[in-house]
Chain A
Amino acid sequence: MGKLTLDDLRKLREAKKSELSRRNNEDHSTQVIIGMGTCGIAAGAKVTLASFVKELDAKGLTSVVVKQTGCLGACDVEPTVEIIVPGMPTVVYGKVDGDTAKEIIEKHIIGKELLDNHIQDKPAIDIIET
């Protein structure tokens, strides 16, 4: 897209907004969002990312979107990963290493069950209305 006019920006925002808000809707795809700040990476987020990509590939789950985000602030439980599966509550997992990543794919994404011992609470309500 080239340079935006005021109108373009508004249209783009509306389009992207509805895309983001569909996150919790049934018809949207499964997403894996990995916290990739310096802190997350230092705690092994790159290994986690690689494990997700490799395992999703191996299982043929090509529709799952793997994305990165910044630091969630939960330093003591890095790396953190948010999992969005249509029809399930969105959860954040902490201390997700390569093996836990595999477990998440197996149990949560395929088995539609939540994993024990890794769920973290989201730190605050969202002030942005989407």
Chain B
Amino acid sequence: MATYKNYVLVCGGTGCESSKSGDIFTNLQKAIKDNNLQHDVQVVKTGCFGFCEQGPIVKILPENTFYVKVKPDDAEEIVAEHLIKGRPIERLEYKKAEDTGRVHVDDIDFYQKQFRVVLRNCGVIDPENIDEYIARDGYAAIEKVLTTMSQDEVLEEIKTSGLRGRGGAGFPSWMKWNFTKKTESDIKYIVCNADEGDPGAYMDRSVLEGDPHSVLEAMSIAGYTVGAQMGYIYIRAEYPLAIERLNIAIDQARAYGLLGNNILGTDFNFDIEIRLGAGAFVCGEETALLQSIEGNRGMPTPRPPFPAVKGLWGKPTVINNVESLANIPVIINKGGEWFSKIGTEKSKGTKVFALTGKVNNSGLIEVPMGTTLREIIFDIGGGIIDGKEFKAAQSGGPSGGVIPAEYLDTPIDYDNLIAIGSMMGSGGLIVMDEDDCMIDVTKFYLQFSVEESCGKCSPCRIGGKQLLTILEKISEGKGTLEDIKRLEDISEAMKNASLCGLGQTASNPVMSTLKYFKEEYLQHINEKKCVAGKCKKLVSYEIIEDKCIGCTACARKCPVNCISGEARKPHTINQDECIKCGLCLETCKFDAVIKK
């Protein structure tokens, strides 16, 4: 069967549909038929291209021409000019926006906002086949390092790249390596922190599942650089597929002699083993993680001594996060210079985000540092679900804070996020709209931190619980103005006095919501009102007498039978028994039930 010469893809996402992509589709089909091209060109409706702001989008294959803001009337011209004469229509082609001041690698003059360094192989190679990794420059970095680079040269390359730890705090990676390298010891260790525990974050899991060899290769490079012969990957048992693929990858690498003794015929020895964690959030903290690997209860220990000097079994240990490691082979292959061109002045490279919440295209995305929240949510994420109002985004999980609408255009990097009271964290990004209550959200994160606190130090153990109790009080309408002061005081104390990162940052969600959404707190306290309707104790459902026709539909649905009344006469809700499930509101066809 003959194949088509061209394919015209018309975006059929909701955004483009509402700006008449349907008409474009019909007009294109008609124009193609009029010109008798129906056997040469196929017009196809696609899923959302995630570039909704520039919609409607039309893409022409195989040449990959990308047309934006196409109107139904443009269809004829596209057919006559592009498809028949082969001349792309310049007027419709996507032009890169004016320079945003962000530093770009020369070759990303492309319409896509995403740039994949860490995720380069995810969704491209078969993760269970080492040959496919090798074909895509895999193990070329370890080859380069072992044959042409000294330990100091590797360190210099990482320093030039400007890579900072992707686990949260953003400590320069080369410095970590350098501390361990400089410490005299016959035994040293490399540890990969794969204990990803923030709610809504799954970047590391996806890397390990999609490209496990990149982490193994990076650990070997780290081993060569600091003089370690053994590496451990600490991963939670809740990630069975990632563990399975890591095991397969380790076996394959050993079989090829890419792990073990005399790697690639050189005198470099390095091997990796997996250690499973039970899924405690605190074990993502490096000292608690080391305790857990040693077989002790996962509790943090005071620093100093830092693990880089005195870590696993008292030996110098480099601990790097999965995402940081996945960058290393690319930095070696393409050079630190290349890497340092991506991102902002102080935050180099890209960041992977797990974009979730009230956003149309949720997903795992990778963007250059310095991309704005607006670009992430609206250009890549396709905007807020049902066209609702953006309220805030939560970054950094239970250790982070909210980014309100006024900072939508702030370039995202380590320092800017800290400056506005949030943090990069590992990269969970949860989008919230007008229906989300900030007190409710803060309560959720506090609940998480309280449950996950190891209980060793009192600021975290007691402080967290007290914060949660006060938040619960406020969400029930029993809060007082003094409570705000108490929240602030306890938060400050926890930040200063807790032993580890978990306690030091657990109050961040409270502090950042107090900073940007104080009015909402005051509303809950003074007016006993939750505008978003999320705090159940402050919400009531009532039936408007004039509108109720007594159809009994709501009474039959009510799970606690608290709606009463005679048939064909107005019903009433017994407020004392109501559990505020909202089923009556959903059920009523006459808009007689209201939420207050």
Interface residues of A (CB under 8 A from B): 1-6, 9-10, 12-13, 16-17, 19-20, 33, 35, 37-39, 41, 67-77, 80, 82, 87-89, 91, 94-95, 110-121, 123-128, 130
Contacts and interface: CB of A to CB of B under 8 A. Distances in A.
Contact of A123 (B143, B202, B360, B365): B365
A124 to B, nearest CB: 4
A111 B1 CA distance: 7
A76 B360 contact: yes
B206 A6 contact: no
A95 B135 contact: no
16 contacts: A3-B257, A5-B265, A6-B143, A6-B264, A6-B265, A6-B266, A13-B140, A69-B126, A71-B122, A71-B206, A71-B364, A89-B62, A114-B9, A125-B108, A127-B334, A130-B136
Contact of A70 (B123, B257, B258, B363): B123
A69 to B, nearest CB: 5
B120 A123 contact: no
B32 to A, nearest CB: 14
Contacts of A111: 1
Given A73-B364, A117-B12, A127 B47 contact: no
B3 A88 contact: yes
Given A119-B46, A127-B120, A37 B256 contact: no
Interface string B126-149: 111001101111111001001100
Interface in B81-131: 107-108, 110, 112, 114-117, 119-128, 131
A72 B265 CA distance: 35
Contacts of B567: none
B327 to A, nearest CB: 12
Given A6-B265, A9-B143, A125-B112, A69 B361 contact: no
B330 interface: yes
Nearest to B139: A9
B236 interface: no
A5 B262 CA distance: 10
Contacts of B61: 89, 91
Nearest to B112: A124
Q: Which 5 A-B pairs have the closest CB atoms?
A: A70-B210, A3-B257, A72-B123, A16-B135, A73-B364
A116 B29 CA distance: 13
Contacts of A116: 12, 44-46
A64 to B, nearest CB: 16
Contacts of B365: 73, 123
B4 interface: yes
A117 B107 CA distance: 31
A41 B241 contact: yes
Given A13-B140, A76-B363, A71 B123 contact: yes
A96 to B, nearest CB: 11
A119 B127 contact: no
A50 to B, nearest CB: 17
Contacts of A112: 1-4
Given A119-B9, A121-B59, A1 B256 contact: yes
A4 B264 contact: yes
B50 interface: yes
B203 to A, nearest CB: 10
B134 to A, nearest CB: 5
Contacts of B334: 127
Contact of B122 (A16, A73, A127): A73
B42 interface: yes
B135 A76 contact: no
A111 B4 CA distance: 10
Nearest to A7: B265
A119 B44 contact: yes
Contacts of B62: 89
B362 interface: yes
A116 to B, nearest CB: 5
Contacts of A75: 356, 362-364
A4 B257 CA distance: 6
A123 B126 contact: no
B122 A13 contact: no
Nearest to A87: B3
A39 B120 contact: no
Contact of B46 (A2, A4, A70, A118): A118
Given A9-B134, A125-B116, 9 more contacts: A3-B255, A13-B135, A69-B124, A70-B210, A75-B362, A113-B4, A114-B42, A121-B59, A125-B107
Contacts of A115: 44
B366 interface: yes
Contacts of B126: 33, 67-69
Nearest to B114: A124
Contact of B206 (A4, A13, A70, A126): A70
Contacts of A10: 143
A117 B361 CA distance: 15
Contacts of B264: 4-6, 9
Contacts of A126: 116, 120, 124
B62 to A, nearest CB: 5
A40 to B, nearest CB: 9
A68 B255 CA distance: 22
B209 interface: yes
Contact of A114 (B44, B117, B210, B361): B44
Contacts of B48: 120
A39 B257 contact: no
B241 A76 contact: no
A69 B108 contact: no
Given A88-B3, A128-B120, A128-B136, A120 B47 contact: yes
A16 B12 CA distance: 37
Nearest to A80: B123
Given A67-B126, A71-B210, A73-B122, A118 B47 contact: yes
A124 B256 CA distance: 31
A70 B209 contact: yes
B516 interface: no
Q: Identify the interface centre among B12, B42, B47, B266: most chain A CB within 10 Å of its CB.
A: B47
B205 interface: yes
Given A6-B143, A37-B210, A37-B241, A16 B119 contact: no
Contacts of A68: 126-128
A125 B136 contact: no
Contacts of B123: 35, 69-73, 80, 82
B47 A77 contact: yes
A130 to B, nearest CB: 6
Contacts of A39: 202, 206
